[in-house]
Amino acid sequence: MAILKEAKTMEEKVAEHYVNKVYRTVIERNPGESEFHQAAREIFDSLVPLFAKYPHYMEQGILERVVEPERMIIFRVPWVDDKGKVQVNRGFRVQYNSTIGPYKGGIRFHPSVNASIMKFLGFEQIFKNALTGLPIGGGKGGSDFDPKDKSEGEIMRFIQSFMTELYRHIGPDIDVPAGDIGVGAREIGYMFGQYKRIRGAFEAGVFTGKSPAYWGSLGRTEATGYGAVYFAQEMLKGRGMKLRGQTVVVSGSGNVSIYAMEKAQALGAKVVACSDSNGYIYDEKGINLATIKRIKEVERKRIKEYVNVHPHAKYTEGCSGIWSIPCDIALPCATQNEIDEASAKLLVKNGVKAVVEGANMPCTLEAIDVFLDNDILYGPGKAANAGGVAVSALEMAQNSMRLPWTFEEVDRKLQEIMKKIYRQSMNAAEEFGYPGNLVIGANIAGFKRVADAMIVQGVI
Ligand code: NDP
Ligand code: 2IT
């Protein structure tokens, strides 16, 4: 067992035996899908104390049901590149769980996308969405399309082809996609345009993360990064600490990273490093965010350009070295498994106080163990990065009302939601005998909400 060191009581031993049995089925049914196995292992281990106290969840077979996606759609995406050559990518949508709302979750465009990554993200999304307290089920989608070396025209044509299949599976009350790695407001715009054209109806609520020009929510762009920092603030407060004056390292330089850096800086922290998939920059004077935004959001170039403008800063090739920079707070905001056991040990050795996940599953199970064993504050992604999908749900609410809220109103609601997720997770951790353990707390709180709703809906 990784998260839960050892079952303490007889009831926990019974529950442990049960989750291990279900876990073996997951491995057999999904051979070779290591990311999915990892996400399942973390959640399953966390649920042992819940099942020990409330065995009816085991009797109702909730775990067996919830780990199996309601459906998974895999489709061909043919398109023509700028040279006139036919290209074929693979598209995915995992419609994981619709117990408490329409399937909801982002779309990822990255060459690594496969069934394992889709399922790990979709499975996590169910419990993350439940934690927000808003009416959204869990889903995820994407493609192995790599937007990086593509022209604007190629990206649009690819998306139009992608949507020509996906449109039949989604809808404002069915499945509501949004962005993730490689998908931002530009890509959502092309998806929405094609959906509207095929569907012949203006259904604003079918996507979130839209441009505010056509009823996207103000504050959605900032929501995941801001939310992660609000969550970090609550964690620090719990130990009598503040964000002000802390040194922060943020991996990535995409949507989540940029707005995590913006909020951390606004609250008085010093952000000294960020990265992309090629390397990282260290700026001991503090990262100049205007430069990062220009390079990444406007010019869509590589992070190493930063040192051309700020020659005192240092660029290093390779990603994992960023975790060797001493910091008080680490915010992994790039991708899965970016902090392994060795990086975790290095962070601890260098005095890290809190690790808060802006990305989904950025820490390996071994890394999480290192943080928990050393009593480092550890904020798991499904709680800490839930601000993005929470504001997505607020976007759906505004679209249903056909009325927009101000940025301030959305931001105020986001802060309340992040505080509530923190409190809920801490309370569950305490109630089930693991005080302060936010992994166990967040997983139990999220799972319980979905499981209770599944029970009252019958065997579904
Ligand atoms: P973006 O595409 O905007 O940015 C991703 C960043 O991570 C880029 O800097 C990218 O570098 C880097 N990156 C991506 N893949 C890798 C890799 N394999 N190795 C190293 N670096 C990599 O994505 P987001 O900011 O939206 O997403 C970041 C993370 O946050 C993901 O885990 C996502 O699932 C999660 N998340 C996103 C939410 C959202 O609202 N967008 C909500 C909740 C979680 P490069 O430019 O070189 O590719
Ligand atoms: O991982 C995530 O929570 C997201 N990519 C955001 C999903 C959403 O529907 O806003």
> Could you report the per-residue pLDDT of 178-217, keeping only the tens digit for each?
999 999 999 999 999 999 999 999 999 999 999 999 999 9
- pLDDT band for position 3 (cuts 50, 70, 90): confident
**Catalytic pick among 104, 119, 128, 140:** 140
pLDDT above 90 for 2? no
How many Å lie between the centroid of ligand 2 and the Cα of residue 88? Answer: 26
The whole-angstrom separation of Cα 31 and Cα 114 is: 13
pLDDT above 60 for 290? yes
Tokens of 38: 């990892």
**Segment 198-207, tens digit of pLDDT:** 999 999 999 9
pLDDT above 60 for 1? no
**Segment 15-69, tens digit of pLDDT:** 999 999 999 999 999 999 999 999 999 999 999 999 999 999 999 999 999 999 9
H helix or E strand, kind and range, residue 112 = none
**Segment 252-266, tens digit of pLDDT:** 999 999 999 999 999
CB proximity list for 373: less than 8 A, separation 6 or greater = none
Query: Cβ(388) to ligand 2 under 6 A?
Result: yes
Which among 107, 128, 389 is the best mutation to test ligand 2's pocket, defined by most ligand atoms within 8 Å of the CB?
A: 389
The whole-angstrom separation of Cα 371 and Cα 363 is: 10
Query: Cβ(102) to ligand 2 under 6 A?
Result: no
The whole-angstrom separation of Cα 459 and Cα 454 is: 7
pLDDT above 60 for 164? yes
Q: Counting Cβ atoms within 10 Å, is residue 68 exposed (0-12), middle (13-18) or buried (19+)?
A: middle
Count of other CB atoms within 10 angstroms of residue 317: 9
The whole-angstrom separation of Cα 38 and Cα 15 is: 19
Phi, psi at residue 71, to the nearest 5°? -160, 160
Domains of the chain by range and CATH? 10-67 (no CATH), 70-204+385-400+436-460 (3.40.50.10860), 226-381 (3.40.50.720)
Strand partners, 141: 93, 107
Query: Cβ(182) to ligand 1 under 6 A?
Result: yes
- pLDDT band for position 8 (cuts 50, 70, 90): confident
DSSP state of 217: P
User: Mapping DSSP to helix (H, G, I), strand (E, B) and coil, where does residue 82 land?
Assistant: coil
The whole-angstrom separation of Cα 406 and Cα 411 is: 9
Query: Cβ(319) to ligand 1 under 6 A?
Result: yes
Ligand 1 atom nearest 335 alpha carbon: 32
Burial readout 72-105 (b: 16 or more C-beta within 10 A, e: otherwise): bbebebebeeeeeeebebebbbbbbbbbbbbbbb
* Amino acid (one-letter) located at 334: A
Mean of pLDDT over the chain: 97
Tell me, yes or no, if 140 is annotated catalytic.
Answer: yes
The whole-angstrom separation of Cα 327 and Cα 293 is: 23
pLDDT above 50 for 9? yes
Query: Cβ(69) to ligand 1 under 6 A?
Result: no
Strand partners, 87: 79
